[in-house]
Amino acid sequence: MSDLGITILLVLALFAILGSGVWIGLTLAGVAWIGMQLFASRPAGDAMAVTIWGSASSWTLTALPLFVWMGEILFRTRLSQDMFRGLAPWMQALPGRLLHVNVVGCAIFAAVSGSSAATCATVGKMSLPELKNRGYPDGISIGSLAGAGTLGLLIPPSIIMIVYGVSAEVSIAQLFVAGVLPGILLALLFSGYLAVWALMNPTLVPPADAPMNLRAKLRESRHLLPVVGLIIAVLGSIYSGLATATEAAAVGVMGSLLISAAQGSLTWQTFKDSLLGGTRLYCMIALILAGAAFLTLSMGYIGLPRHLAEWIGSLGLSKFELLVALMIFYILLGCFLDGISMVVLTMGVILPTIQKAGIDPLWFGIFVVLVVEMAQITPPVGFNLFVMQGMTRREIGWIAKVTLPFFLLLMGAVALIYVFPQIVTFLPEQMRN
């Protein structure tokens, strides 16, 4: 059978098994098994056992469950309320006022969470009721939160960066450093849009609260100290070279437990809930990663990634045209799969192609994260849209519509890092030097 025939057969098998309701991780392993049995000489059972064990026992991947658990612990604290109290006084003078709390709050929580959905839910559970009570329009409040929640994937520590780093064999610490400036850029784009919207719709923005003097603002800012201290402990230990990503994740777990205990929210029940919640989420991710590792091996034996890379190379696409094609591909894929599944499913095929095109895998990692962020707010499988739907009981189509401007801003961010790749590469180069 030709390469095209094999590809079509495996893709049809993938969608048929997914459509039957089988878990994504088992689907990937099943398609890999079919490929190995039909088109490779190596015994499928032996290959599956070795590959899944190797994927599950990766030391680098140890950071993932720890960061997931840290986010689960913080989700059950008063962190979001404290962040709102600490940030609100400083936002009153900006056009759009408290709408910026969504963006800044998500950026801060993203630096200790690693999950887009957790960031969106944690900040939203405090900011949305506050904004509604103060008279801010639902559309811009919900849209800005869903959009800003995507910062959870870009601002380190990021679960998707760990998954990409393991899949692409790129340094996770370097990826974390590379995500800082793009994360700040994206937050500024979001806040800039909110300011422009507020200036164009002045009647829709409620009046400012009673003015505070500098001393009162600083006094309220003390509520930000726990989260800022945790960010410094986690990211500072990585950037200074004192800890690997895995060790920094352990520091984060200890710090989040201390914050929870200091706030009085650490009980046996919340500890158990956070541990079980983190375990469930990680087991789902680990199963997907194991299935994807087996699929990647299977594709390697069949030779599909090499043939696909050669075919794309024969098309004579420029680097720009290739990246545009990949962006469209990932956006379409995001309509059906979650971000982690998108990354692990495609890396085995896409990496040889981008390496042949001369694209830096580190830069491409940030590109992929930005495009996966778009998938978080793309119906029908946009995770942030589901989170917002659960919190607001609004139609998912309406939420997608009010989030559309932030989707376009994400596309703008992709264009900026393409034109100015130093936005991604500057800090990693400084770290290497």
What's the one-letter identity of residue 348? G
Determine the straight-line distance between the first and last CA of the chain, rounded to whole angstroms. 50
Asked if 174 contacts 431 with a C-beta cutoff of 8 angstroms, the reply is yes
Q: Which of 226, 139, 181 is nearest to 363 (CA)?
A: 181
Q: Which pLDDT score, from 0 to 100, does residue 86 have?
A: 83
Q: Which pLDDT score, from 0 to 100, does residue 306 have?
A: 64
Q: Which pLDDT score, from 0 to 100, does residue 224 have?
A: 83
E-only strand ranges, 159-209: none
Q: What length is written for the chain?
A: 433
Distance of alpha carbon 185 from alpha carbon 181, whole angstroms: 6
Q: Is 115 helix (H, G, I), strand (E, B) or coil?
A: coil
CB burial of 43-79 (b: ≥16 within 10 Å; e: otherwise) equals ebeebbeebbeebeeeeebbbbbbbbbbbbbbbbbbb
Q: Which of 83, 51, 123 is nearest to 344 (CA)?
A: 51
Q: Which pLDDT score, from 0 to 100, does residue 59 have?
A: 72
3-state helix, strand, coil in the chain (%, to 5): 80, 0, 20
Calculate ∠ Cα 406-412-415, nearest 5°: 155
Report field, pTM of the whole predicted structure over 0.85: no
Question: pLDDT digit of tens for each residue in the chain (433 aa)?
Answer: 666 677 778 778 877 887 787 777 788 888 888 888 887 777 777 788 888 787 777 776 777 788 878 878 877 877 767 777 788 888 888 898 889 988 988 888 888 777 777 778 778 877 888 888 888 999 999 999 999 988 888 888 888 898 899 888 898 889 999 999 999 999 999 999 999 999 999 888 888 777 778 888 888 888 888 888 888 888 888 778 788 878 888 888 999 899 889 888 888 998 999 899 888 878 877 787 788 778 778 877 777 666 666 676 677 788 899 999 888 888 877 776 667 777 877 787 788 888 888 899 999 999 999 998 888 888 766 778 877 887 788 888 899 899 999 999 999 999 999 999 999 999 998 877 6
Q: Which residues contact 4 (CB under 8 A, 6 or more apart)?
A: none
Asked if 152 contacts 158 with a C-beta cutoff of 8 angstroms, the reply is yes
Please report which residue ranges of 303-379 form alpha helices under DSSP H.
304-314, 319-333, 339-356, 361-376
Q: Which pLDDT score, from 0 to 100, does residue 227 have?
A: 82
Q: Which of 313, 315, 311, 349 is nearest to 329 (CA)?
A: 349
CB burial of 302-329 (b: ≥16 within 10 Å; e: otherwise) equals bebbbbbbeebeeeeeeeeebbeebbee
